[in-house]
Amino acid sequence: MKKIIIFLMVILFCASLNTVMAKKSTDSNVILIDDMSKMNNSLGGRCAVYQRHPSRAGFSKVSQKRDGKEDKVLKIRFDKKGEGGPYGQGGWCGYYTIVKKGKKFLDLTGFKKLTLWVKGEQGGEKFKVGIADQQYESMGDSAKSDDISNYLKDKKITTQWQKAEIPLEDIFVEWTQIASLAINFETDLYENGAAKGTVYIDDIQFEK
């Protein structure tokens, strides 16, 4: 009898899990890019930093409290220099995540905004969000949003979680051919082109 009860409990658990996954996968109004629960993103794509000396960056996925609950989030450390390297502007650094699968690009027809949750270790950190379509990918670059501060309720990154909502119309790319997303610590954001700090990001997704 005990074995039968355990077997039935396993069946019920699997059925409920499948229901949750089905609800998630059939929500045509949202494409979840990364909930930070795995080292790869939620689409199976690779995540990594890019950097050019003397600037540097590093990332990890760590536990943090959000809305009173423990959650896995993205932690990015950056040290953007203002001098040296190519062009004498200190090089460059950031983080990127691949959203295409093989040669199949992500089609975002009908989607209106990119959203993500963000906070800083000190507050006042700055970055831009980059989107690469097929053309930008071939150049090793991306089209950039405005400073993330412009999309936050408090108009700046603070030490508390805030949701950023970036209208896709702010970024000029071919939305049927999206290859990757990036967090860019750009020279023009900082006095003398230099800054260092740590930002935390969670739940990157596209919404209609």
Q: How many CB atoms lie within 10 A of CB 128?
A: 22
Q: Give alpha helix (H) positions in the chain.
A: 2-25, 134-139
pTM: 0.86
- Best CA proximity match to 126, nearest among 87, 76, 53: 76
- Give pLDDT, residue 67: 87
Assign a CATH topology to domain 29-207: Jelly Rolls (2.60.120)
Q: How far is it, in rounded angstroms, from Cα 126 to Cα 66?
A: 21
Return per-residue pLDDT of the chain as tens, 208 residues.
544 444 434 344 444 433 333 334 458 899 999 999 999 999 999 999 999 999 999 999 999 999 889 999 999 999 999 999 999 999 999 999 999 999 999 999 999 999 999 999 999 999 999 999 999 999 999 999 999 999 999 999 999 999 999 999 999 999 999 999 999 999 999 999 999 999 999 999 999 9
The Cα 11–Cα 9 span in angstroms is 5
CA dihedral 183, 60, 37, 204 (to 10 degrees): -10
Taking the C-alpha atoms of residue 191 and residue 188, their distance in angstroms, rounded to an integer, is 8
- Express each pLDDT in 175-201 by its tens digit: 999 999 999 999 999 999 999 999 999
The CA angle 142-190-198, to the nearest 5 degrees, is 80
